[in-house]
């Protein structure tokens, strides 16, 4: 029997707002099935400039907007928008900011150059999710993050938000997909996290800010790992094996929630035993 009721889903790709692939399918289908299972869900993604606001009827939520988040010692306004996926009546919250998300591409420009501030955009997105959920006054029991852009949710939950009564007891599930990039993130990434009180020894692996190390950092601080793709690097898989955490392999698209309901329950049970 399930021992959880509320799941926070965080993904940088959700269909129909971005083209369908396995991640954007999972980003929509899994929350939808969880809702059909009677779970209370919240669903977040970035409001990339390529998301068509008019077609998808996004509108700003004034009562949730208006905060500023500090990234690299600079204030950045946080704007929250929302849309509904019909006919499921499932709401999607969008994290928006003029500087970080207005551009018409997700992570690469027209000439396939990796955006130099992708690390800051991820910090802003993940902090924005936490701060918006705080304003909603909602307590997730499971936080399921899809893909590298939401990877920092795990370390923030275990450090910056560890004493927050809304998030301190949540269990983080991290789905790793086949989305490797060759470029390195900003070498000052560690310095930027220090503004949020996250110490260097916690993120020492990011001295070399590669995709693999970014994913390993998320795996280290997550409570469970899902392989969202059949193709995940051997280096990452070997590292995950050393962590001894619950792992779920890539799933077929049918009856997702029946599998994930069991997995979420296992994660809650294993971590409650550890806590005792």
Task: Answer whether residue 1 is part of any domain.
Answer: no
Number of structural domains found in the chain = 1
* 119 alpha carbon, distance to own chain's centre: 13
Predicted local confidence at residue 274, as pLDDT? 43
Residue 5: pLDDT band (50, 70, 90) is: very high
Predicted local confidence at residue 2, as pLDDT? 63
Predicted local confidence at residue 120, as pLDDT? 92
Task: Answer whether residue 252 is part of any domain.
Answer: yes
Predicted local confidence at residue 37, as pLDDT? 92
Cα 86 to Cα 91: distance, rounded to the nearest angstrom: 9
Residue 81: pLDDT band (50, 70, 90) is: very high
pTM summary value: 0.94
Residue 271: pLDDT band (50, 70, 90) is: low
Shortest CA distance to 127 belongs to which of 150, 106, 147, 100? 150
Shortest CA distance to 25 belongs to which of 34, 16, 33? 16
Predicted local confidence at residue 217, as pLDDT? 93
Task: Answer whether residue 154 is part of any domain.
Answer: yes
CATH code of the domain containing 185 = 3.40.50.2000
Residues 213-265 pLDDT 10s? 999 999 999 999 999 888 898 999 999 999 999 999 988 888 789 999 999 99
Q: Residue 52: enclosing H or E segment and its boundaries?
A: none
Task: Answer whether residue 202 is part of any domain.
Answer: yes
Residues 87-107 pLDDT 10s? 788 999 999 998 898 888 887
Task: Answer whether residue 126 is part of any domain.
Answer: yes
Task: Answer whether residue 37 is part of any domain.
Answer: yes
Can you give the residue range of the structural domain that contains 214? 6-275
- Res. 143: pLDDT tops 90: yes
């Amino acid at each position: 029997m399930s021992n959880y009721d509320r799941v926070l889903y965080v993904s940088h790709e959700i269909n129909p707002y971005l083209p369908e692939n396995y991640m954007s399918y999972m980003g929509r289908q899994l929350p939808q099935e969880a809702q059909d299972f009677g779970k209370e869900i919240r669903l977040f993604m970035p409001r990339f400039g390529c998301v068509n606001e008019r077609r998808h009827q996004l509108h700003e939520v004034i009562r949730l907007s208006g905060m500023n988040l500090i990234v690299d010692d600079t204030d950045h306004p946080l704007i929250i928008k929302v849309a509904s996926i019909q006919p499921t009546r499932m709401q999607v919250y969008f994290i928006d900011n003029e500087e970080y998300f207005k551009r018409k591409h997700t992570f690469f420009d027209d000439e396939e150059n990796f955006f130099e501030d992708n690390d800051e955009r991820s910090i802003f997105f993940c902090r924005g999710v936490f701060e918006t959920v705080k304003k909603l006054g909602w307590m997730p029991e499971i936080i399921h993050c899809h893909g590298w852009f939401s990877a920092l949710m795990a370390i923030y939950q275990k450090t910056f938000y560890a004493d927050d009564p809304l998030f301190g007891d949540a269990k983080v599930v991290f789905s790793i997909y086949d989305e490797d990039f060759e470029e390195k993130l900003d070498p000052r990434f560690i310095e930027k996290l220090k503004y949020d009180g996250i110490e260097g020894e916690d993120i020492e692996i990011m001295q070399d800010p590669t995709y693999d190390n970014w994913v390993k950092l998320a795996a280290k601080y997550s409570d469970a790992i899902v392989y969202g793709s059949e193709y995940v690097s051997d280096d990452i898989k070997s590292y995950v094996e050393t962590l001894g955490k619950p792992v779920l392999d890539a799933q077929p698209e049918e009856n997702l929630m029946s599998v994930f309901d069991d997995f979420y329950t296992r994660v809650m049970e294993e971590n409650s035993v550890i806590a005792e």
